[in-house]
Amino acid sequence: MQSISSQTSKPEWLSSNLLLQPFLWAMSWLDYILAPLQNLIGYKRMAYFFVLPNLLIFGIFILIPMLLNFYYGFTGGDSILLENRPVVGAANFEKIFSCQDFFKPNTCAEDLFWRGAWNTLTFVVFQVAFIILMSLITALALNRDVRGRGFFRAIFFYPVLLSPVVVALIWKWILQYQNGLLNAFLVSLGLTKVPWLLDANWAQFWVIAVSVWAQMGFFTLILLAGLQGIPKEMYEAASMDGANKWRSFWNVTLPLLMPTMTVVLVLALIRAVQVFDQVFVLTNGGPGTATLYIVQYIYRTAFEFRNYGMAAAASLVLAVVLLILTIGQLLFQRRQEAA
């Protein structure tokens, strides 16, 4: 059995580089600790040892809370401690699905859940559609040999680096009714102020627009990588066959970009369903409940109204929806790969 450091011989540049000496020294010390362990449990089992810390973190912060959440969904009361929570069976789920007409949230016992659900669906449909469209257009533009391409790529990617809270605060400053930048501009032109975040339709529009602005750089980057992976010969062949640019796009670019588009679609979908922080700061779910999305509903139900059981039940329903979406995407991807 080999010791860890002796498995590969150090190249000369590594041994001679002074800057690396402290690291090499640290590694040799690590070797003292790990080598006996490797001798004991075997070379192959060392992999388990290395993933153990991550597995513990995953277990403590994700797996155990998930299981706890499952249990909370079947309990009632307002205590956060499990021992003080009475088991109520499926009562929370029954209340969620107690509805005369699911399309009219006012007729539901837990009307805010359904408002949140329908608002989220609307958000997902429009946000994902716009984000893919905008990212694709931007990626196509940035893929061309234009002057200052690197600069523009950086500009489009920049919002991705900002915290969602910062993005929301910037746009809130712009869109405020009374002292907002945009309304001040409109007034300076002699126009009247618009309640950008105080009218349900405008608020829904801006929440989607801000979200697209903040995230499209990330998806543009993925699509750009996909575009650059398409061989130039394909376009040359299409051109020789007399295809114009539009035809090349439909028959060459789009089909070859489809696997990347699928990745973008799935990532955008999951992100959109989980929308919370940005909207929480921008509108806090208002006006009324026009931009109350499902995750914010869960947050409010748990931490404002202390109805942890209902919040857990709602998050389980959301988990099932996400599971169905993910399975659908996997099946779609497999079928595509098979084709």
Partner 1 sequence: MKRIVLLTVVLVALFALFACAPAPTPAPTAAPPTAAPKPTDAPKPTDAPKPTEAPKPTTAPTQAAQKVELRITWYDDGNEGAVMRSLLDKFQAANPNITVKMDTVAYADLNKILQPQVESGTPPDLARVTDLARFQGYFLDLRPNLTNAAAWEANWSPAFLGALRKPDDKTGLYGFPTQFTVSGPFINRTLFAQAGVPVPSDTKDKVTWQEWVDAAKKVATATKTPYAVAMDRSGHRFWGPSLGLCAHYVNGLTETKFTIDTPGFRNAANMLIGWHKDKITPPEIWVGGGGGYAAGNTVFVNGQLVFYFSGNWQVGQFAQQIGNKFEWDVVPNPYGDCGSTGMPGGAALVAFKASKNPKEVAKLVEYLTSDDVLAEFSAKSLFLPGSMSLSKKGVTYPSSNKQMNVFLKEVGKLMPESYYLQFNALGQTLNPEMRDRLSQAITGELSLDEAIKKIQQKMDEAAAAVKK
Q: Kindly list the residues in this chain that would bind partner 1 in the complex (CB under 8 A).
A: 37, 40-41, 49, 52-53, 56, 60, 76-81, 84, 106, 109, 111, 115, 176-178, 195, 197-198, 200, 283-292, 296, 300, 303-306
Helix (H, G, I), strand (E, B) or coil at 270: helix
Our CB check for partner 1 shows the closer of 45 and 247 to be 45
What phi and psi values does residue 108 have, to the nearest 5 degrees?
-95, 145
Report d(CA 107, CA 94) in Å as an integer.
Answer: 14
Q: Pick the closer one to partner 1 by CB: 182 or 325.
A: 182
Find the shortest distance in angstroms from Cβ 183 to partner 1.
Answer: 12
Minimum distance between the CB of residue 34 and partner 1, rounded to whole angstroms? Answer: 11
**Structure-token match 């150090």, residue found:** 10
What is the nearest approach in angstroms of partner 1 to the Cβ of residue 316?
21
Give CA–CA dist 113/116, Å, rounded: 5
- Shortest reach from residue 318's CB to partner 1, in Å: 18
In whole angstroms, what is the distance from residue 136 CA to residue 254 CA? 10
Report in angstroms how near the CB of residue 68 gets to partner 1 at its nearest.
13
End-to-end CA distance of the chain: 46
Shortest reach from residue 331's CB to partner 1, in Å: 37
To the nearest whole angstrom, how small is the minimum distance from the Cβ of residue 80 to partner 1?
A: 4
C-alpha 96: how far from its chain's center? 26
Nearest of 282, 332, 140 to residue 219 by alpha carbon: 140
For partner 1, give the closer residue by CB, 52 or 125: 52
Nearer to partner 1, 218 or 293 (CB): 293
Decide whether 80 or 191 has the Cβ nearer to partner 1: 80
**Ranges of H-type helices in the chain:** 12-16, 21-41, 46-58, 64-72, 91-96, 111-143, 149-161, 164-175, 181-188, 200-228, 232-240, 245-248, 254-273, 277-282, 294-303, 308-338
Query: Cβ closer to partner 1: 265 or 294?
Result: 294
- Residue closer to partner 1 (CB basis): 104 or 334: 104
- What's the distance, CA 158 to chain centroid? 17
The DSSP annotation for 319-334 comes to HHHHHHHHHHHHHHHH
